[in-house]
A and B are shown apart, each in its own frame.
Chain A
Amino acid sequence: MSDDDKAGSGFAGRLRRALLIAVPYLWLGLFFLAPFVIVLKISLSDSVLAIPPYTPTFDPSRGWEGIAAMFRAFDFENYVWLSEDDLYWQAYLSSLRIAALSTLLTLLAGYPIAYAMSRAPERWRPILLMLVILPFWTSFLIRVYAWMGILGQNGYLNQFLIWLGLIDTPLVILGTPVAVYIGIVYAYLPFMVLPIFSSLDRLDRSLIEAALDLGCSRLQAFWLVTWPLSRPGIIAGCLLVFIPAVGEFVIPSLLGGSRTLMIGKVLWDEFFANRDWPLASAVAVVLLLILVLPILLFQRHAERQQRRAEE
């Protein structure tokens, strides 16, 4: 059975349908797709000291000849530059590394929380859920800022540790990758907890009882039943943390200091400080490829698995 709008027969129905599709389609085409075409185009251009600071620009008055001239002027110089300069390689790699490690840390912190929430009495669960979500609605910037006061040289953490007598000289945390890890775990924890909680919450309690009944210890029941069945939630949570963490700008620039290299910050600096738009565009295109390709592959894999399950 077709799931198209059944009331959509007749002229009025077709018009309604066309309008419904066209309005969001055109909006996204203009403000999402077109910008990427422009980014791609500028990434192939050369940087100049002008406004706009790149060449060639498209000259509509010259018509087709103008387009042809523009294409002839394109080259991959910026990409060559990217691949030759160590800075960019290191920035990409370090972004991926920081994102991967902090995703793992978030998982280690988030799973026990999600598990405990799913074990909590029924009437507590909505409240616990709300308490986990609440920070997400508070400004991201403020939540990262809160850690600046804690982790600084004279920060609350150092004051506390010295007061306890555990250390004599303050620890240097702010301005190091450690602070970035803490920031990412803190900022993205709800994104890890929620999907894992929802997959654990759905889990039929009698499955675990069945496992215990069939001779599993509690630990075995967890490892053989609960963990594999919560895997969809784990994967979703990891993606929700990893993907934005790779392109993160606010956390490394506030907590990471100059020593932490992340590609989002490089792109920002390239654009605002160096005003090298073509190079910034090339950085963006490569970052996009790095992020989008694995997602596409993952999606195709998931679709194929689903189709196999349906068969």
Chain B
Amino acid sequence: MDTAKAPPPTSDASAALPPWQDPAAEPLIRLENVTKRFGDFTAIADLSLDIHEGEFFALLGPSGCGKTTLMRMIAGFEAPSAGRILLGGEDLVPVPPNRRPVNMMFQSYALFPHLTVADNIAFGLKRAGLPRGEIAERVAEMLRLVQLENFAHRRPHEISGGQRQRVALARALARRPRILLLDEPLAALDRKLRAATQFELVDIQERLGTTFIIVTHDQEEAMTMASRIAVMDHGRLVQVGTPEEIYEQPNSRYVADFIGEVNLVEGVVTAAENGRLVIDWAEDAAPIVTRSDVAAPVGTRVTFAIRPEKITVGAEAPEGAANAWQGRIEDIGYLGNLSTYHIVGPAGRRFKVQSPNRRRVARREFSWEDRVWFAFDETAGLVLTE
């Protein structure tokens, strides 16, 4: 998994801070208490969000969480029921979609079937009334950008899915929008192509410096590409942060569970001192000891979250580990580069543990029904009070 990308270069002197941490920075687009209702159904509930110039921003959530509605409101295809959408400080709501400096790459690509690749790209430029020479120049530039110079005169049905995706991107970028909206841009591609295209999109975004807002339900896609991610659920923002923050410091069970895999253990705080919590989670088992900034007095019910790859497995109890229990291997999932162990621990509680495969399978250390130790240190997990 990639770490957060370096913030894009900004012109002002306080470039040390990413723009979203700089209180003086003006956001490019600001959503203020935006609500959208369809009849009785509330798709977006009182949502506020700032997105800055040059960001690669991901709206992440399961289908039906309102992320597409949010994007369609920015594009102008839906009007908010309440609240304001500001672009560079000006209200965007009364502006019809064809007058917004925002372009969208549609999930279905929405390429015009009766026009060639070049004419598709030129469509928006012609509407803008650019002179003929400039249109030709800009189309050529866009075709170069997406490496489709040789396909200019093909129709959309005469090129491959991956090429169509690039035409859709070129068409949306041709007008040099201030914001490019991408609705599940990679959903229609196969797995291999998707991985390659992810890097291509990031590359293009960095070269052009255009603000990208991407809608996706694929957490890996969001983590790989985005500078910041907004995790959405039922029309609300649950957490907004860099991929690293979202992964390492999820603020809720929902986020922890949605992003990557996680073991969630419920328990009660039995001691709290010096930034350390002791959590009782099963009878007759050693408690979990963890460092945490969370203010959780003794007696609070909490959820302890720990990622499978932060747990180690061994034949013997590791020395000096703050947390170690014995368990039985119930199942092993071989994923090639990794193996996933399902370990039944104290009180029948199951843990998912992931460890890299450093050896060939034939010489695997553990097998089904083996009794093993699993352990993690004080800083490996996270306490969620919600």
Contact = CB atoms under 8 A, between A and B. Distances in A.
Chains A and B in contact, CB within 8 Å: yes
A246 B44 CA distance: 56
B77 A1 contact: no
Interface in A1-29: 1-2, 6-7, 9-10
Nearest to A10: B96
Nearest to A1: B38
The interface size bin for chain B is: under 10
Contacts of A7: 96-97
A2 B78 contact: no
Interface string B60-81: 0000000000000000011100
Contacts of B97: 7
B96 A6 contact: no
B79 A9 contact: yes
Interface of B: 38, 77-79, 96-97
8 contacts: A1-B38, A2-B38, A6-B77, A6-B78, A7-B96, A7-B97, A9-B79, A10-B96
Nearest to A13: B96
A7 to B, nearest CB: 7
Contacts of B38: 1-2
Contacts of A2: 38
A5 B78 CA distance: 11
B239 to A, nearest CB: 27
Contacts of B78: 6
Nearest to B77: A6
A1 B37 CA distance: 9
A6 B79 CA distance: 9
B358 to A, nearest CB: 46
A9 B77 CA distance: 10
Give 8 nearest A-B pairs by CB, closest first: A1-B38, A6-B77, A9-B79, A2-B38, A7-B96, A10-B96, A6-B78, A7-B97
A9 B78 CA distance: 10
B91 to A, nearest CB: 15
A2 B37 CA distance: 11
Nearest to B72: A6
B85 to A, nearest CB: 15
B268 to A, nearest CB: 45
A193 B244 CA distance: 63
A106 to B, nearest CB: 38
Contacts of A10: 96
A2 B39 CA distance: 9
Given A1-B38, A6-B77, 6 more contacts: A2-B38, A6-B78, A7-B96, A7-B97, A9-B79, A10-B96
Nearest to B97: A7
Interface string A271-300: 000000000000000000000000000000
Contacts of A9: 79
B76 to A, nearest CB: 9
A123 to B, nearest CB: 20
A307 to B, nearest CB: 19
Contacts of B79: 9
Contacts of A1: 38
Nearest to B94: A10
